[in-house]
Structure formats: structure tokens, C-alpha cells
Amino acid sequence: MNFDLTINYKTILTKVDWIVFFSILILTIAAVIYGQYKKKKLKNNKELAFLDLLLMGRQLTLPMFVATLVATWYGGIFGVTKIAFEQGIFNFITQGVFWYIAYILFAFFITHKVLKYKALTLPELVGQMFGPRAGKLSAVFNFFNVLPIAYVISLGLLIQALFGISFLQSMIIGVTVVVLYTLYGGFRAIVFSDIVQFFVMCLGVFLVLVFSYKIFGGISFLKANLPDTHFSPTGGVGIATTLVWGFIALSTLVDPNFYQRVFAAKNIKVAKRGILISTIIWVLFDICTTSGAMYARAVIPEAASDKAYLIYALQILPDGIRGLVLAGILATILSTLDSYLFIAGTTVSYDMMPKKLKGKICVHNFGIISVGIIAVFMGVLFKGNIKAVWKTLGSYSASCLLLPVLYGYIFPNRIKDYQFVFASILGVITVSIWRSIELSGFWQNVDELYMGIIATSLGLASYGIIYNCIKKKKNSRFNLVD
């Protein structure tokens, strides 16, 4: 079987493929419309209308919870398959195993603590835990953490590949479509579209693996045609660099999409069971994507790594199945892009705006549109490099926001508002400086994320010590006067 390093999508895709592809798109749109049809009449109650807009009225059932949570997590499929193509099972460790640990920690140790606050957003939760200034600062972190740059890039790459238009035009068209249906139905539209996208994306990556195994065989074929480093957990980059991804995975513990689903769940059982069931599905999904990309490397090693998985998949699949897998890849991207777009828009319109503008649907819509424009601009700025986006934004989130929030869960009411702000800003400054200076020797191998974690921890500790010393002095003076 001969494989091409590049393919002409217009010639390889048959009429059957396009019929299947567009049928799934129509089904997704139908699901969004159905979700709106099932929406209860709220009789001009603005508060309930906004709750439905953000959290679907906190009525997320277990099947819906699992579908929307799983679907939301894989929009950067070209980034994931690129890592697997270049470094093999290193992708499964860094983009899989580390994240499973974070999911399980969230399910067992954080879910019940989150729900008692009855917050609408993560920054609002942080504000309730630490204070208003901490809430505002976390909103800023939140915004940059959920800017859907990587997913706008992924969607742009797919549209560019299919229709041959420029990367910028592809991103603009893709984002415009997502913005329109997100504005139409809010979180409810996202959930109902995710239900369709969940089944299509899972079936798509599974079929790529099935046909790969059928044509080429199993692990023996991969071992014979791949470098040894593709079977190394560290991918040839060392333990320190690998563990950086572990800390980035822990940023799930402060990921607003996770919190939004938990806030929207009907009860704590739905949230906890939903996360655990989702984790099992994520394991299977990651096995499929990692293996599929490794087959692509074994068969067409000279292909461009960011598009190799798609190029490979479309050449091994029969008519009709190609259209399904293509729709699955599109669904994978859309299901994450719409969620991140919505959350970022919520952050702008609800968490960053003055009180008098909070809760207004028109302001929320403005926030979503603004985020879409910013994401396209940043996609151009990052030159389509998805891995760089994850690494840059993930480093700030994991080092500057994660630790203060975790300490807040472990030691409730111990961290003060200003203490949170001081430690987080110190972490931001440290990460930014470490990224900008030239390093040599031992320090060249120390990632900025580690330095950010150290700085944030020192900031929390030093502020706490100074605050307690000042408090003791004040108390001793008061006792003397008394």
C-alpha cells in the first residue's frame, strides 16, 4: 500500500464521505435546536435565565455530564497527535496519565468542597474562599488559561486542509460558526452539541486504530518501524521536562471547564461519578489517538507532524468511514472550542465586569464575540504552534494559581485575600523573568514552571509569617495597654 506525504482532500474524499460529514454537522445543529426546545419557560425571570445560560439551571444529569466533560477535553487533537507522532508514548504519559491522576484527585478530594459554595464561576468561588481581590486576580488568570487559542488553531488547520483557503481565513470562518451557535443557546447549546460530538469523536479515533491494526498488525509492526525513544515514557527529553507536564496537568484542579460542569451537575453524586466514568473513557481515547499517531509515524515518517495523523487516517479508511472520521476530528475540536469560548466570554462579562453589568445576557454575548476575535489574533501570533500555547499558558496557570487554591482547600480560612494576591503576582513575575533571560549551565534545564511554583510557595509562606508576627505584636501591645 503506497502512502502520500500530502493529499488532495478534494480528490480523496468521495460523495459518500461528504454526505456522512455534513449529515453529522446537521445532526449537531439539530441537537442544539432540540436543547433549546426542551428549555423550560422562565417567565421573564432574569436571574433564572442567566443561571440557565451559564449552568443549564444546574440540571446536568449523569449521561449529559459525561458527554460534555469528555467532549470538552480533546480540542487540541492535532497537538496531541503531533506529540505522539514525534515522541510516541511520551504523549500518553504527559497528555494522559498525569491528567488521570488530576481527575481522580478532583473527584475524591475537591468535588464536595466546591459544591457547598454554590458559585457560578471559578473566580467567584476563589473570591468566596479568599476575598474579592483574589477573585478578581483569578479572573485574569482564568481568562488567559481558557483563551481557546489552541483550538482555534486546530480548527483553522482542519478547514485550511479541507478547503485550501488561508490559515487566517480558516480560523475566522470556524470561530464565526462556533460563536453563532454559542450565542444562540449558551451552555445548553454546548451540552446538547457535545452529546453528538462525544459519540462521533470516540467512534472516529477508534476506527482509525481498528483499521491500522487490521492493515499493519500490532505492536511488533510499531517496534520494527519506530525509534526506541517512541517507547520511552520520557520520550528522550528527561524526567525533569516530563514532570513539567505533570504540574501542568494538575492545573485541571483550577480548570474552569471542570468547575463549570461540577457547578451545573444536579448533585454531588452526578459530579463525582461523572468524573470517574469520564476518566475511563479518556484512557481509551488516549490509547486510540496515541497509537494512531504512532502508526502514522511508522508508515509516513516524513509527513508534517501536525497533519500526519489526518493524512494517514484518510488514506487507510474506506469510503464513508473517511467522512465519519473527518467529522469526528471536527467534533473533537468544536466540542472544546465552544466550551472554552463560552467560559472565556463568561470570565470577561461576569467576573471582570462591574457589579451593575453582571448577569446581563447582552454583556455576556459581547464577551464571547470579543474572545473569538482575540483568539484568532493570538492564533496568528503563536504561528499555529499548539504545543507552545499549552506550555506557555499552562505554566502560568499551574505555577501561579494552582498552589494558592490547593492550599485554600487543605487549610480553609488560613490564606488571606492579600496573601493570595501577593503570592500569585510574585509567581507571575518570576515565570515572566525566567522566560525572558538567557540561562546557562544547570539553570538552563530548570523550567520556568518550577521557578513559579517556588516563588508562589515562598510568597504564601513569607506573607503568612510576616502577617502573624505583626498580629502578635499588635496583640501584645493591646494586652500591655489593657
Instruction: Dump pLDDT digits (tens) for 379-418.
Output: 787 665 655 665 566 667 667 788 888 888 888 888 889 9
CA gyration radius for the chain?
23
Q: Where are the domains of the chain?
A: 9-386
**Cβ neighbours of residue 178 under 8 Å, at least 6 residues apart?**
155, 334, 337, 338, 341, 372
Residue with cell 506529540: 83
| CA gap 187, 434 in Å, rounded | 38
- Written as tens digits, the pLDDT of the chain (482 aa) is 678 787 777 788 899 999 998 999 899 889 888 888 877 665 566 677 788 888 888 889 999 999 999 988 776 677 789 999 999 999 999 889 999 999 999 999 889 888 888 888 889 999 999 999 999 988 888 887 788 887 888 888 888 878 888 888 988 998 998 888 888 878 888 899 889 989 998 999 999 999 999 999 999 999 999 999 999 988 878 787 788 788 778 878 888 888 999 999 999 999 999 999 999 999 999 999 999 999 999 999 999 888 899 889 989 999 999 999 888 888 888 888 888 888 888 888 888 888 887 778 888 888 899 988 988 888 787 665 655 665 566 667 667 788 888 888 888 888 889 999 999 899 888 888 887 887 776 677 677 777 888 888 899 888 878 877 877 776 666 554 45
Phi, psi of 306 (to 5 degrees): -75, -15
What CATH number labels 9-386? 1.20.1730.10
Q: Which of 371, 360, 362, 33 is nearest to 185 (CA)?
A: 33
| CA gap 394, 392 in Å, rounded | 6
State how far the alpha carbon of 383 is from the alpha carbons of 32, 76, 113, 206, in Å: 32, 15, 40, 30
Predicted confidence at residue 61, as pLDDT, reads 94
At 93-103, the pLDDT tens digits run: 988 999 999 99
User: Are 95 and 87 spatial neighbours (Cβ–Cβ below 8 Å)?
Assistant: no
| CA gap 109, 115 in Å, rounded | 12
Predicted confidence at residue 230, as pLDDT, reads 93
Q: How many CB atoms lie within 10 A of CB 241?
A: 15
Residues present in the chain in total: 482
Q: What is the pTM of this model?
A: 0.84
User: Are 155 and 170 spatial neighbours (Cβ–Cβ below 8 Å)?
Assistant: yes
Predicted confidence at residue 287, as pLDDT, reads 94
Predicted confidence at residue 258, as pLDDT, reads 87
- 200 grid coordinates: 462521533
User: Helix H segments across 317-447?
Assistant: 321-346, 361-381, 386-397, 403-410, 417-436
Predicted confidence at residue 79, as pLDDT, reads 79
